[in-house]
Structure 1
Amino acid sequence: MSVAGGVFEGLLGEWSLEREISGCGCMKGYARFTRLDGETALYEESGELCLKGGQTLHSRQSYVYEKRDDGFAVRFADTRELFHVMRFVTSGDDLVGEARHVCVNDLYLSGYMVRSDGSFEVRHEVRGPQKDYVIRTVYRRSPAC
């Protein structure tokens, strides 16, 4: 199995997540990767989003991850439209990858880091006419796993 294929398999199961959205707030919750077939997995997250002004909202999101030889493609679950394709390279003991997605006038620069301790991080830098923020999410194996 390729290193990137191992990453895909390693994502399956439950994770706790902590997210920071620069200048906006933070979120704590859980995520689950559930195998759909040999090449795809459904990603679902749920959590409490605490906005900077004190408001708390329940947040949910889902994507479909498709295994690739050197990483994976991420698609929006509802439309199956491509969000980005992630290709991994080795960086010391970790695996890292970068991708980009253009959404109308906005640019999403994404980075993934899969750490040797089993945790992983996803970072989206969002730039556009009315957008300028960074979303950083750290995933750790759920204590129940």
Structure 2
Amino acid sequence: MTSRRDADQHPLPDAAAHHPVPDALVHLAGTWHVERTVRDLADGSEGHFSGTVRFTPLPAPDEGGLLHHESGTFTWHGTARPAERTLRFLPGEVPGTARVEFADGRPFHDLDLRTGRHTADHPCAADLYRGDFEVADEDHWRTRWRVGGPAKDLLLITEYVRVPARPAAGSSARRGRSG
């Protein structure tokens, strides 16, 4: 399923390079820069998404969970359009894991990053989405979704890079100055 070109553009870390994450929700909280390639393996066409995903606390009654809101620009066949999606990440049955749902509450997949790597399946009508999740370090992770079915033959690779939090006004960066 993976061509040499995929490996060159998206080198996957060795198993030893996976970064264990004791608590997926704690790890994901914050803002991430997102770059995604979408390749139609049937005809070779390729698209690109660039944007931001914010993981923010869910309000009650889903306390302890995160709202995943992704927004940016998706370019397909030379046409750029705004794109966004929203997911809900809730505490999983096992401490440190998560249960991922669509915005309307339908189940999507489980997520267990305690070893730094996880594979999840999501059946969708006649298609199967298989996701591989890999954490490289505290600030970098990747997903690879392979989508197959009667009408789909896709590979989606997403790279996430943490956006550093900005210090609040009046923080220690300003306190060190005299004057």
What is the Cα deviation at residue 128 of structure 1?
A: 0.7
Asked if 1:17 is matched to 2:42, the reply is: no
Look up the match of 1:136: 157
Higher strand share: 1
The CA deviation string for residues 70-95 of structure 1, in whole angstroms up to 9 with x for no partner, is 52111001x200011122352xxxx0
What is the Cα deviation at residue 144 of structure 1?
A: 5.3
Q: Paired residue for 2:141, among 109, 115, 120? A: 120
Look up the match of 1:73: 99
Percent identity for Structure 1 against Structure 2: 30
Looking at structure 2, the residues matched to 10 and 142 of structure 1 have their Cα atoms a distance apart, in angstroms, of 13
Q: CA 1:41 to 1:117, structure 2 compared with 1: closer, same or farther past 3 Å?
A: closer
Aligned alpha-carbon RMSD (Å)? 1.7
Look up the match of 1:96: 117
Q: How many residues align?
A: 137
Taking structure 1 as the reference length, the TM-score comes to 0.86
Q: SS state of the match for residue 88, structure 1?
A: coil
Q: Which runs of 5+ in 1 are unaligned?
A: none
Q: Which runs of 5+ in 2 are unaligned?
A: 1-19, 40-44, 167-179
Looking at structure 2, the residues matched to 9 and 39 of structure 1 have their Cα atoms a distance apart, in angstroms, of 9
Kindly name which structure, 1 or 2, has the bigger radius of gyration based on alpha carbons.
2
Q: Paired residue for 1:30, among 32, 52, 60? A: 52
Looking at structure 2, the residues matched to 48 and 143 of structure 1 have their Cα atoms a distance apart, in angstroms, of 21
Q: SS state of the match for residue 10, structure 1?
A: helix
Looking at structure 2, the residues matched to 82 and 133 of structure 1 have their Cα atoms a distance apart, in angstroms, of 21
The CA deviation string for residues 26-84 of structure 1, in whole angstroms up to 9 with x for no partner, is 01101100011542100000011111x2111110001000122252111001x200011
Query: Counterparts of 1:48-67 in structure 2 under 5 Å?
Result: 48-51=73-76, 53-67=77-91
Taking structure 2 as the reference length, the TM-score comes to 0.71
